[in-house]
């Protein structure tokens, strides 16, 4: 007969409740600070709702009224070097951390003036929510994207759960830098069941990152109750699956939350890894705007009234009166002064037009600011030595993949900020293809094999890059895996610089390899260039030879933008001329003219360059062959492209991959916009088929463009020329 053995989780899981003795033992100064921050945040949020109700907030106004106790109680124990990020409903967390930063220089107690840096902080946050140029992100972030790095706020986030992996990057940066700082990531009950959150919990636990996962369980994801969304609504239970110690606490009780955070921080600062805190809180209003949930039928007024009776501001006020720390009039005066300063700030940002208020027109950002700061201005590479076209200096024949590994070895030796992460990059003699050979042995503690969780480790790398102390190099084993991590790749890393005002650097390199022709089928064979070219913020390089790889990778590792480095398995084992000197860059805007002619301009990249050159030589064709090298919108060499097309008047775009995700489709449109008057005929394109490559060798060949398609298209164009 079978027998069962009860199993115990590795980590503890407790409900923490503050007693009256705990309240009595609280330092009066801490209670005073709690009350002031709670009152300021409440007055701020009331102003936001008032402005939104008058149509002066363009977009959502996700109020945190009712949830302030969790934010203030949890952020009070943090040190100046600790960092936080949050979700779309993050005004209270932003302000709690920002006001704590300001309080280092300016008293923030119940009888102190609410002026100076305190007032500037409130005004900057409100201006940002209104989309004004004086906001913390210059009006680009709005209600959902608030960042103030100096104060330790690394950014709130509109994608549910999207900021959690980024916080792991900040935590990793602090650990790598040798500090005892801790990061806290705030998210709601709706995010708990999202893959990126659970992936990050696993990664943070495996790597013992100093990260607190703070779950604000306000019971509703818009209108869906937590009981409808999960069979285990005690959300802190998630930590047990990953061996993370977890606390459940009443978030309406700032003292209980404060105590739980103190315990969680002690775990993290001791190097024992992450912690989970679930704070049960309640948003008094609907998902967005100033109506209660009962107005939409998913809550009743009795439930709302019961939660309001537990208001955190009222609770702190009552306890301070009971302990003779303040009088009722002191508390009333404080609330009134908080409301008054917010009314003054609101008045400064608006103007009366007849009987209605409007935003002051001079406070809007200029329309010309629209595209500023999508990418770096490249000043960081202005003084670096350039490589000329082709192999620079002394060369020797080597395998392409060996050059890939050698470049990384040299750069990591010269730049201690570079770290490498990805699946199996630390094993198998350099990963699955040898591209990271010797890195783990040569640079212990800087090469990390990750779990199979692209969303988590891509986001971690994004947070690490935004932190600014390190330069992560991420490997996706195959480019198709970008779809698994699409939120982090495109919504987070690609948009971060622009979204947060244009000033934040995101120095990250994403390496991946095209594997068409290897029989890996539909989900391992794509060319990612066409997708990334449509995504703002990314730069793209596609080296076709070892000499170019050296210059392009060196540039990618020096630029303060995310750069996609596309490699190709067909090139890895080829013996090709490679430079002995592995220094120097090929900067953006540096296409290579591989052949010169007058009848057709052939534009290509990566592994299609050599087949094009072979066919041109076979046909003895009088054509230009341009190897793009840099593929993104901002980095294309329009001087070389334009000069060639104005001479030949005909264009052939050659790529290997599928027609639907074609890079050439985008490029053809751009060429027509810029150079239509010099074209004597339609732009011709060589691409693969509509379908992704299949496993069958015959079907795979049919799905990919090759020599036959190139030869036929070029021959047709030459007949017309």
Query: Active-site residues: which are they?
Result: 524
What are 16's strand-pairing partners?
249
Q: Where are the beta strands (DSSP E) in 367-492?
A: 395-399, 418-422, 447-449, 471-476
Q: Where are the beta strands (DSSP E) in 489-628?
A: 508-514, 539-541, 562-568, 575-579, 592-595, 600-604, 623-627
* Distances in whole angstroms, Cα of residue 146 to Cα of each of 151, 291, 341: 12, 24, 21
Neighbouring residues of 490: CB distance < 8 A, sequence distance ≥ 6: 535
DSSP conformation letters of 560-571: SSEEEEEEEHHH
175: left (phi over 0), alpha (psi -120 to 50) or beta: alpha
Which stretch of DSSP H or E encloses residue 409? helix 400-414
* Distances in whole angstroms, Cα of residue 113 to Cα of each of 71, 366, 613, 650: 23, 34, 74, 71
CB 88 within 8 A of CB 64: no
Q: Give the C-alpha separation, 359 to 130, whole Å.
A: 9
Spatial CA neighbour of 542 closest among 581, 570, 575: 570
Q: Give the C-alpha separation, 94 to 64, whole Å.
A: 11
Q: Are strands 220-221 and 83-86 parallel, antiparallel or unpaired?
A: unpaired
CB 475 within 8 A of CB 512: yes
Neighbouring residues of 107: CB distance < 8 A, sequence distance ≥ 6: none
Q: Give the C-alpha separation, 345 to 309, whole Å.
A: 30
Neighbouring residues of 214: CB distance < 8 A, sequence distance ≥ 6: 70, 74, 184, 185, 186, 187, 277, 279
Residues in the chain: 721
Spatial CA neighbour of 521 closest among 704, 263, 707: 704
Q: Give the C-alpha separation, 409 to 416, whole Å.
A: 11
Degrees, nearest 5: CA angle 159-216-38:
110
Q: Give the C-alpha separation, 413 to 406, whole Å.
A: 11
What are 593's strand-pairing partners?
626
Which stretch of DSSP H or E encloses residue 221? strand 220-221
Spatial CA neighbour of 260 closest among 282, 242, 236, 284: 236
* Residue 125: Cβ-neighbour burial (10 angstroms; 0-12, 13-18, 19+): buried
């Amino acid at each position: 007969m079978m027998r069962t053995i009860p199993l115990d989780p590795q980590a503890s899981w407790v409900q923490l409740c503050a007693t009256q003795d705990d309240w009595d033992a609280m330092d009066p100064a801490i209670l005073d600070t709690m009350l002031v921050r709670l009152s300021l945040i409440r007055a701020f949020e009331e102003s936001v709702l008032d402005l939104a109700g008058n149509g002066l907030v363009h977009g959502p106004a996700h109020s945190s009224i009712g949830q302030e106790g969790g934010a203030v109680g949890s952020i009070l124990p943090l040190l100046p070097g600790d960092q936080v990020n949050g979700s779309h409903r993050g005004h209270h967390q932003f302000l709690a951390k920002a006001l704590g930063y300001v309080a280092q220089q300016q008293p923030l107690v119940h009888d102190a003036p609410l002026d100076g840096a305190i007032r500037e902080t409130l005004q900057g946050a409100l201006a940002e929510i209104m989309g004004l140029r004086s906001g913390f992100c210059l009006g680009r972030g709005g209600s959902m994207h608030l960042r103030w790095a100096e104060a330790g706020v690394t950014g709130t986030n509109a994608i549910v759960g999207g900021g959690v992996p980024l916080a792991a990057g900040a935590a990793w940066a602090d650990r790598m830098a040798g500090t005892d700082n801790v990061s806290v990531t705030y998210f709601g009950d709706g995010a708990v069941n999202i893959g990126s959150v659970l992936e990050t919990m696993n990664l943070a636990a495996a790597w013992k990152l100093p990260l607190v996962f703070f779950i604000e369980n306000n019971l509703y994801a818009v209108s869906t109750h937590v009981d409808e969304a999960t069979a285990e609504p005690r959300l802190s239970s998630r930590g047990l699956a990953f061996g993370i110690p977890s606390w459940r606490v009443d978030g309406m009780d700032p003292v209980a939350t404060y105590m739980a955070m103190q315990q969680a921080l002690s775990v993290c600062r001791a190097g024992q890894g992450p912690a989970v805190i679930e704070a049960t809180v309640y948003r008094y209003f609907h998902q967005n705007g100033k109506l209660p949930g009962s107005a939409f039928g998913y809550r009743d007024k009795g439930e709302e009234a019961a939660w309001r009776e537990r208001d955190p501001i009222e609770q702190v006020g009552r306890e301070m009166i009971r302990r003779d720390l303040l009088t009722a009039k002191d508390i009333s005066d404080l609330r009134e002064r908080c409301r008054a300063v917010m009314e003054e700030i609101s008045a400064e940002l608006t103007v009366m037009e007849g009987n209605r208020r409007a935003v002051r027109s001079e406070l809007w950002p200029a329309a010309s600011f629209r595209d500023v700061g999508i990418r770096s201005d490249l000043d960081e590479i202005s003084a670096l030595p350039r490589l000329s076209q082709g192999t620079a200096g002394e060369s020797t024949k080597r395998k392409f993949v060996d050059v890939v590994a050698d470049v990384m070895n040299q750069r990591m030796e010269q730049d201690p900020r570079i770290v490498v992460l990805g699946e199996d990059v630390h094993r198998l003699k350099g990963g699955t293809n040898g591209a990271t050979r010797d890195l783990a042995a040569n640079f212990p503690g800087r090469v990390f094999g990750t779990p199979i969780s692209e969303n988590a480790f891509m986001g971690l790398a994004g947070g690490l890059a935004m932190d600014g102390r390190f330069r992560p190099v991420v490997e996706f084993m195959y480019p198709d895996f970008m779809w698994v991590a699409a939120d982090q790749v495109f919504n987070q890393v690609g948009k971060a610089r622009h979204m947060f005002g244009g000033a934040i650097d995101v120095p990250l390199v994403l390496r991946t390899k095209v594997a068409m022709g290897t029989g890996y089928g539909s989900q391992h064979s794509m060319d990612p260039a066409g997708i990334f070219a449509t995504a703002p913020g990314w730069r793209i390089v596609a080296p076709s030879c070892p000499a170019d790889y050296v210059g392009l990778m060196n540039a990618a590792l020096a630029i303060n933008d995310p750069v996609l480095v596309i490699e190709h398995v067909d090139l890895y084992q080829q013996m090709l001329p490679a430079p002995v000197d592995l220094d120097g860059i090929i900067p953006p805007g540096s296409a290579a003219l591989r052949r010169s002619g007058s009848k057709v301009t052939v534009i290509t990249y990566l592994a299609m360059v050599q087949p094009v050159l072979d066919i041109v030589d076979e046909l003895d064709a009088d054509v230009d062959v341009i190897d793009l090298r840099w593929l993104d919108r901002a980095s294309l060499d329009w001087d070389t492209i334009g000069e060639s097309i104005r001479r030949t008047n005909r264009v052939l775009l050659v790529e290997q991959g599928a027609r639907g995700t074609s890079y050439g489709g985008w490029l053809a449109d751009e060429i027509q916009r810029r150079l239509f008057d010099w074209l004597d005929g339609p732009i011709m394109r060589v691409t693969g088929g509509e379908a992704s490559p299949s496993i069958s060798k015959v079907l795979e060949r049919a799905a990919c463009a090759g020599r036959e398609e190139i030869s036929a298209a070029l021959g047709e164009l030459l007949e017309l020329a």
